[in-house]
Amino acid sequence: MRRRQLLAAASARLEAAGVASPGHDAEVLLAHVVGIDRSRLVLLDEVGEADLAAYERLLARRCDREPLQHLVGHTWFRHVRLEVGPGVFTPRPETELLAGWALERLGALEHPVVVDLCTGSGAIAKALADEAPHARVHAVELDPDAHRWAVRNLAGTGVDLRQGDAFTAFDDLLGTVDVVVCNPPYVPLEAWESVAPEARDHDPHLALFSGADGLDAIRLLARRAARLLRPGGELGVEHADVQGAAVPAVLAATGLWGEVRDHRDLAGRPRFTTARLAR
């Protein structure tokens, strides 16, 4: 079948299935099947029968809302490639902004120490180790399956990866950390039906849901980060776009934080909060 005809039909099927980026996903899957970079698809005239069959199988799974990243086995986060699949939260592009904020802070320090709590696939930790090689990067993940993915992704990076509870980990670092970053679970349990099927049905629920209002983990983070950081150290935490007021309020209510500020993503939606340890 001709490439253009195949992609047009595949895109229409994906759009009908509710996939948010049908044209993009159709191209990524085809490039994966034929073993070329997506940018080189324009050089492909026809798709053979064996590749057509493989493409159809992946297309059907994507129409069932299986994450694109699971189907190709990897994703990109800033400048690093991550292996992902069942059992680990798929990193989102919005989180790159939080990582970028952390990199700015690390760049101003000579020998910084940074901790990535709830590391999941290891996305933030790997990006920080890649772009701030002068920093000592530590990361922790509770879920055993997700931790196994992080082990694979962080191998050879020098990141100190541990398995355990993010809100009790790193007793050996208390009071010495310059920057804490965290992409915690923040979806309210009552918002179950509103979560996209790719996340609701495939991301670990431990990485998604956090109590009735979605703030349980952030309440724990506000206290734990304050113990990890040195005086004047900084915290950055991602949140849902409806929590742009709630998360700063959680931090302010502790009396531990100053310079509490919320930041918007590229679409103008509230996306992460930063604060400086006041004591």
Annotated binding site for S-adenosyl-L-methionine: 141, 183
Q: Three-class SS of residue 153? A: helix
| CB burial of residue 10 (10 Å; 0-12, 13-18, 19+) | buried
Q: What are phi and psi of 74, to 5 degrees?
A: -160, 170
Distance from C-alpha of 242 to C-alpha of 215, rounded to nearest angstrom: 12
Exposed e or buried b for every residue in 141-163, given b needs 16+ CB within 10 A?
bbbeebbebbeebbeebebbbbe
Q: Three-class SS of residue 177? A: strand
- Among residues 225, 185, 190, 186, the alpha carbon closest in space to that of 206 is found at 185
Distance from C-alpha of 32 to C-alpha of 23, rounded to nearest angstrom: 14
Cβ neighbours, 10 Å, residue 37: 7
Binding residues: 141, 183-186
Distance from C-alpha of 200 to C-alpha of 141, rounded to nearest angstrom: 20
Binding residues for substrate: 183-186
Give the contacts of 259 (CB within 8 A, at least 6 positions apart): 274, 275, 276
Residue carrying the six token digits 């990485």: 207
Distance from C-alpha of 13 to C-alpha of 23, rounded to nearest angstrom: 10
